[in-house]
Amino acid sequence: MTEEQGNNSAAEDNSPVFRMQKMYIKDFSFENPNAPEVFQAPNQEPKVEVNLKLNNKKLDDNHYEVALEITAKILDKGNNDKTMFIMEIEHAAAFLMKNIPEEHQEMVLGVDCPTLLFPFTRQIVSQISVDGGFIPFLMEPINFMALYQNSIQQDAAQQN
């Protein structure tokens, strides 16, 4: 019986562990360059330009930082593309990744980590737009798996 327990403990020690340990804002900027005139425009037609960049780095043997860098520029199409607001955020999290096979780590960092982090980033962005005097800026959900697969295909095409 004790032999079985010893084997189970050894097996449990090698089981994969993955979890977000800490979330934080590394950098944030909100600009409202045309206030208060921008609020007086009669029929605002927002034009949205969003750029997303995903970064990750190894912190130690079992911890990685994954950061979403998002720049959103909102223009008023009905007012000669006058800037309504510009928002930049670098939102990051530290993840514990223990006993994850090497061949799966890239996908975990590129898909699973940002998928867990993004809803919180989206909420921060929405709340700040409201605090800036605008309606909530709700970013569309992002399919990180599709982005990851596209990047693999692009890398393969460049190698050929």
* 140-143: long-range pairs with CB below 8 Å, 24+: 142/52, 142/114, 142/118
Position 14 confidence tier, pLDDT thresholds 50, 70, 90: confident
pLDDT at position 7 is 53
pLDDT at position 132 is 94
Select from 48, 62, 31 the least CA-distant residue to 129.
31
How far is residue 151's CA from residue 160's CA, in Å, rounded to a whole number?
14
61 has pLDDT over 70: yes
Q: Are the beta carbons of 105 and 97 closer than 8 angstroms?
A: yes
How far is residue 137's CA from residue 151's CA, in Å, rounded to a whole number?
27
Mean pLDDT of 62-67: 97
Check whether the bond before 46 is cis (ω within 30° of 0): no
How far is residue 5's CA from residue 7's CA, in Å, rounded to a whole number?
5
Angle among Cα 108, 109, 115 to the nearest 5 degrees reads 80
Superfamily of domain 16-155: SecB-like (3.10.420.10)
The pLDDT > 70 percentage for the chain reads 92
Q: What is the pTM of this model?
A: 0.85
Q: Which has more confidence, 104 or 3?
A: 104
Q: Which has more confidence, 10 or 118?
A: 118
pLDDT at position 80 is 85
